[in-house]
Amino acid sequence: MTCILSFRIITGDKRPFLPLILCADPEEAVVEQYLDQGTLVAAYCGKVPACVAVVIPVSADQCELKALATAEEFRHRGIASAMIRFLSEHFRGKYLSIIVGTAEPAVSFYEQAGFIRFRTDPGFFTRTYSEPIYDGDFLCRDMIYLRKDL
Structure confidence by residue, pLDDT tens digits, 64-94: 999 999 999 999 999 999 999 999 999 999 9
Distance of CA 25 to the CA centre of its chain: 9
* Amino acid identity, position 22: L
Q: List strand residue ranges (DSSP E) for 1-150, in order.
A: 5-10, 39-45, 48-59, 62-70, 97-102, 116-121, 133-135, 138-140, 143-149
Question: Is the pLDDT score of 2 beyond 90?
Answer: no
- In this prediction, residues 43-67 reach a mean pLDDT of 97
Domain 5-149 part of CATH 3.40.50.450? no
Q: What's the pLDDT score for residue 135? A: 86
Q: Greater confidence, 3 or 123?
A: 123
Q: Is residue 115 helix, strand or coil? A: coil
Q: What's the pLDDT score for residue 55? A: 98
Contact 97, 107 (CB under 8 A): no
Provide the pLDDT confidence category of residue 10 given band limits of 50, 70 and 90: very high
Question: Is the pLDDT score of 1 beyond 80?
Answer: no
pLDDT over 70, % of the chain = 99
Q: Give the angle subtended at the CA of 145 by the CAs of 110 and 121, to the nearest 5°.
A: 145
Provide the pLDDT confidence category of residue 3 given band limits of 50, 70 and 90: confident
Cα separations in angstroms, 111 against 24, 78, 98, 105, 107: 18, 15, 13, 11, 6
- In this prediction, residues 130-144 reach a mean pLDDT of 91
Picking from 30, 32, 50, the residue whose alpha carbon sits closest to that of residue 143 is 30
Cα separations in angstroms, 124 against 7, 78, 149: 31, 28, 24
